Structure 1
């Protein structure tokens, strides 16, 4: 066969495939059906931290289809921003915009970016409904797709990754990640389920401890509260917080006398310069984080509490609460709460494997610390 005939034959073989590459319809996390002309090449991320899922699916260049994003990654997770900016300096040129909840989102700016789709977290839906953004954006040809890693992470993470995999034309990659996710969760839940008489320690999770001077933000029936239950603990704040997020007073911490205390932390210098928050995260200074954790336990609501007296106090990266990597937090909690049940479980190795297999940046330790260094 001549080269010309060979090229013609190859072209004819490809044509049926191209003909099949038509519109795609996804059902988002709220049950809405959304149709696109094909896999999305131009995407607006409703939150900068959504790059955590884009990095899994578009590992070689997680920013290649991002034409705009909310300006929160640099402020809320500067250590992660720095990691990605070092390898992908073009992120500094991605247009940023304000949020839906504070009413600073600019529809005209979104139209100018010519996106195929806008991906929003589920918690933004109330604000978009109130302002009528879904209809307004639909009229200018910008569909919204909702995903969720925050409200009900263990019900919605795999489904959300599947949805985004469809949007990106990366279904196989999403399925590979979901299989890894489910396997890593099962390493905890399978063990817990074999313990019908499990003694569940009472755990108080302080959300973003030190971010404000007041005590204490926490989690009810959801998010880190669910993390604790999956890891074999009892969430102290659950009876006092009817929803996912809420606040309890310091007196309640003293009265409940938790066996373990876990504080979520991050580098929030952009929001609270020089604050008492605990800057855990990739590449964190663990000595400084431990020092600040110890200082937080000197507040009136924690003095004399069993967890503090025994050194069962820990800090963990806050951003686990809102990305597909939540299974790592569950493993870390399980080893803190039940070291006897999980002698061979190494969440540090799990996080390193996550980076090696799915992420374009190298793993850096620093995601957690404990006052009792033997439990690190």
Structure 2
């Protein structure tokens, strides 16, 4: 039985007897504030969200799937362009067993147990559902610990400790610190300039997944992209309306706020909304198609007469910056849109290219953003 389980993951896992001989128990504090004891370095892990590979890829770029024995099937659907690039270089990912979600109650504890993981990495927003369904108790009875990480609910507060946690679990502390140093240095290029200049802040609407549905408009409150806007020198019009990270604005609220900048988050969501009006930015995106869809979104009722549309200050940016450790790239791009005169020497695309060259296992491809002000 053990041999077949190892074959399932393309021979990338290491035999359990060998792993046990090398690993030692460590106690860590996860981002939920829980103390968890795990045998580390971890040899077998289940990813509670496939997009956790964004973190793993930066820690182990030569073999990001080496220790993954199961994962939730969301990466291929929510970010198919990145998935295709990883699959082309690491075809073994196609053989990794997939799971349903913790939040929707489709996770299979027995299937997870059969893979003998050392740890299950869970995203923080799934904690309540995990505990309600008693997944945590069931896994604990089997001696399988859950470790919570977060790069969505509070990315600015939790991405760094999440990266450090994963560095500890994998024995990749140096790689984790190198990534953290890079991200903090890139953030400082924005925060220090904004603090010194104290510029007038433009009113900004973040249109979350604009065109994904007919609803307009989903947005961000004081967290996530809403916080990115403030750091980048803007004023998020939803901050005083949406109390939590995610919520919605109605067209009347948007028109009354008269945003001077509109930022639409976009991606390739063909798996969810085939042929939808979403703006398909991301690695290798078709920029002509993205621009056409972005222009189409300005014709919605909520965009009537607002300053951003009149001045072509309407932009689209990769949605997954909200859900990855690469948020500092989004902050740089927003800052350059909001205050081009302050950031003439800042090149977010060069930063993104350097991120790929120094840390990530896949090559850089342009297409992560577009603006109606672009030539």
- Bin of the TM-score, shorter chain as denominator length: over 0.9
Aligned twin of 1:251: 252
User: Which of 84, 87, 104 is matched with 2:86 structurally?
Assistant: 84
TM-superposed deviation, 1:24: 1.4
Distance 1:165 1:215 in 2: 40
Distance 1:326 1:297 in 2: 25
3-state SS in 1 of match to 2:122: strand
Aligned twin of 2:293: 292
Note the 1:279-318 alignment, pairs <5 A: 279-318=280-319
Aligned twin of 1:154: 156
1:175-207 CA-partner distances (Å, limit 9, x unpaired): 1110001001001001111124x2000000010
TM-superposed deviation, 1:173: 0.5
User: Which of 116, 119, 123 is matched with 2:118 structurally?
Assistant: 116
User: Which of 37, 40, 43 is matched with 1:38 structurally?
Assistant: 40
TM-superposed deviation, 1:21: 5.8
Query: TM (normalized to structure 1)?
Result: 0.93
User: Which of 105, 112, 122 is matched with 1:103 structurally?
Assistant: 105
TM-superposed deviation, 1:238: 0.8
Unaligned runs of 5+ in 1: 1-17
Distance 2:220 2:21 in 1: 49
3-state SS in 2 of match to 1:328: helix
Aligned twin of 1:125: 127
Note the 1:250-269 alignment, pairs <5 A: 250-269=251-270
3-state SS in 2 of match to 1:37: strand
Aligned twin of 2:170: 168
1:85/1:302 CA distance change after superposition, 3 Å: same
Q: How many residues align?
A: 356
Aligned twin of 1:349: 350
- 1:137–1:143 CA contact under 8 A, matched in 2: yes
Aligned twin of 1:11: none
Note the 1:329-348 alignment, pairs <5 A: 329-348=330-349
3-state SS in 2 of match to 1:239: coil
1:253/1:268 CA distance change after superposition, 3 Å: same
Aligned twin of 2:26: 24
- 2:210–2:278 CA contact under 8 A, matched in 1: yes
TM-superposed deviation, 1:38: 2.1
Distance 1:345 1:253 in 2: 30
3-state SS in 2 of match to 1:373: coil
- 1:24–1:39 CA contact under 8 A, matched in 2: no
Query: TM (normalized to structure 2)?
Result: 0.93
Unaligned runs of 5+ in 2: 1-19
1:96-137 CA-partner distances (Å, limit 9, x unpaired): 010011110110010011100010111011111211211111
TM-superposed deviation, 1:331: 0.2
- 2:23–2:42 CA contact under 8 A, matched in 1: no
User: Which of 70, 73, 86 is matched with 2:72 structurally?
Assistant: 70
RMSD: 1.2
